[in-house]
Structure 1
Amino acid sequence: MSAARRYKDIIGGMTEAVERLRHDDATRAAALEKALVELHDAMEAAADRAALSELGAALRWESALEHLWHEQWLTLSPLPKPDPRASPRDLEYYEAVVEQRYEALEEAIRKRVLGRR
């Protein structure tokens, strides 16, 4: 085989390898872009969920303060800040605890009001 032919074969093989790499890179880039969009959507959904959860807790807190406002012996305080160590995976649990405690407060208030009559 001549040197020119051998050179053309080597260059041809390199060209094919570069084209394969470009194709693989384009495929991988498309997959990463899709994953990025999905992660962005998931982050937005999580942020919305967190905002709703914070709003729900704030509303329950304000309602509890309204119920207890007339209790002069009780020191009322502002809504505590969220615990930065809390796991987002446990959000439903935390929401259930807030709801449970709020319902217990309402029940205690109903019993007290009914006991006064």
Structure 2
Amino acid sequence: MTDLVPASIRYKELTALASTAAQDLRKHERARATELGEAVAEGQQRKDAAAEQRDQVVEDVRKRWNAAMEALWDERWMQVKGMPDPDLTAPPATPDDSRREVHDAFLALLAALEKPRFGAGILNRRKKSS
């Protein structure tokens, strides 16, 4: 005849399988939650580091802008309303590249201000010859 397994034994086998599967699932979910928690923490650290770099670049640009305004103090004809907004059409650059470009532009401004102005030599010669 056929080997019939009593229902109570089959029930115990099925509940044991279900319990084992549930334990394995909880174990997997805990491991995955730990991985995701670490990924979120790493992402937050990268976000904080990027925000700090952005703040440093903004502060550096603000300092250069103020120094440029001081250098242009004698140029009363130049009307400057304030620090301009960031140029959103500029190509992407690293914070160091951005700082370097701002510094180079500042040095170019200082070099341009040091050049003799039109007519300055003429006025000086007139005073010397008198």
TM-score by length of 1: 0.86
* Gap regions ≥5 residues in structure 2: 125-130
Map 1:79-98 → 2, pairs under 5 A: 79-84=83-88, 90-98=94-102
- Are 2:30 and 1:26 equivalent residues in the alignment? yes
State the number of aligned residues: 116
Residue among 47, 50, 55 paired with 2:54: 50
Instruction: Flag the 1:22–1:86 CA change in 2: closer, same or farther, 3 A.
Output: farther
Residue of structure 1 in register with 2:74 after alignment: 70
* Gap regions ≥5 residues in structure 1: none
What amino acid is aligned across from residue 101 of structure 1 in structure 2? A
When Rg is computed on C-alpha atoms for both structures, the one with the higher figure is: 2
Percentage identity across aligned positions?
28
Q: Is the 8 A contact 2:65 2:83 kept in 1?
A: yes
TM-score by length of 2: 0.78
Map 1:95-110 → 2, pairs under 5 A: 95-110=99-114
Instruction: Flag the 1:106–1:26 CA change in 2: closer, same or farther, 3 A.
Output: same
RMSD: 2.3
